[in-house]
Amino acid sequence: MESGKFDRERLVRRTKLYVPANREKFVAKAWTRGADCIILDLEDAVAPTDKASARRMVKDDIPIVSRGGAEVQVRINREFEEEDLDAIVVPGLTSIMIPKCETVADIQRVDHLVTKLEKERGLPLGKIQFDLIFETARGIIRMEDIAEASPRIVSMTTGQADLSVDLGFTRYPELNFDQYFYPENKLLYAARAAGVQAHGMGAQNNADYVSVSEGKEAMLKACRYAYRTGFMGTSVIHPAWVEAANEGFSPPLEEVSLARRVKEALDEAYARGEGSVSVDGKMYDVANMKYVNYLLIRADAVEKRNAGKAAALAAAGGAG
């Protein structure tokens, strides 16, 4: 069933920038990077000996990283989920990133713990969202059911690095499409069926969000490819990806312009009692109108998101 807790088309989280919760230098600059969402990471980016101190910092980190209008998400540790949740379910938290999702019970347990904390702390019930990461074969196989385990779920992605370990192969950039075609495409269908967003770079060769050496054009090309195959955003570990990802996961301006012209022409055709129309030598009908409406809704949401971040950035004193 669809969540009902959010609008899939209007939720704009094109870029989610990972920031180690205990790295004060990175936290202090995160709000200037332009990301739609900041992920305060308590998991892979934090050394085992620093987990406790990192989780204590989250409450103070949230108002800092959100100054530029970014939403705030925290990636928890599955082995310390109760301790992490106790520390992060506070005002200002938008979403929780749950790694290594393998069963419906995993998600429902976290949902129960978060609901309990919301009640105890007087927070709005059900407002905190979930972003799921599938990193094992067990999770991939059960993905469809897990995607509908909680109405808090708004997006899902694969963790290709951990998934390669679980599957027992070495990652090769030139084989990325072959190695991840099944899980990435299953993710697209499972997410859409559940009414949530699919995030990630998908299955494409020679594209790795860890690399920042190829420049903006290569990054933009990779993000645009993912967008055109159905993904609505991605998480990145380096600020150099943010600008390209924001652009790559936004409806292209030329497509939006065409959509507006097609909508106007079809509206006029319907008024005349006609069901189709020609625009630039191509025929468009009711089926095309469905996508046109979706594209225009998405473009409007992106425009509003950009304006909101720009206003927040200006109010906070610019990019420093």
pLDDT tens string 242-260: 999 999 999 999 999 999 9
Residue 107, token pair as written in the block: 């998600």
49, two tokens: 């000996």
Q: Which residues pair with 97 in a beta bridge?
A: 75, 131
The Cα 198–Cα 77 span in angstroms is 22
Q: Are residues 133 and 155 in contact, defined by beta-carbon separation less than 8 angstroms?
A: no
Closest CA to 58 of 15, 19, 112: 19
Q: Specify whether the CB–CB gap between 140 and 179 falls below 8 A.
A: no
Weakest-pLDDT range from 6-10, 193-197, 219-223: 6-10
- A 10 A CB-CB count for 186 gives 16
Rounded to the nearest angstrom, the gap between the alpha carbon of residue 10 and the centroid of all alpha carbons in its chain is: 12
Q: Which residues contact 17 (CB under 8 A, 6 or more apart)?
A: 30, 33, 35, 37, 38, 39, 70, 235, 236, 237, 239, 242
pTM value is 0.93
Place of tokens 């019930």: 125
CATH class of the 15-249 domain in this structure: alpha beta
- The pLDDT mean for the chain works out to 93
- State pLDDT tens for residues 207-232: 766 666 778 899 999 999 999 999 99
pLDDT for 129-188, tens place per residue?
999 999 999 999 999 999 999 999 999 999 999 999 999 999 888 899 999 999 999 999
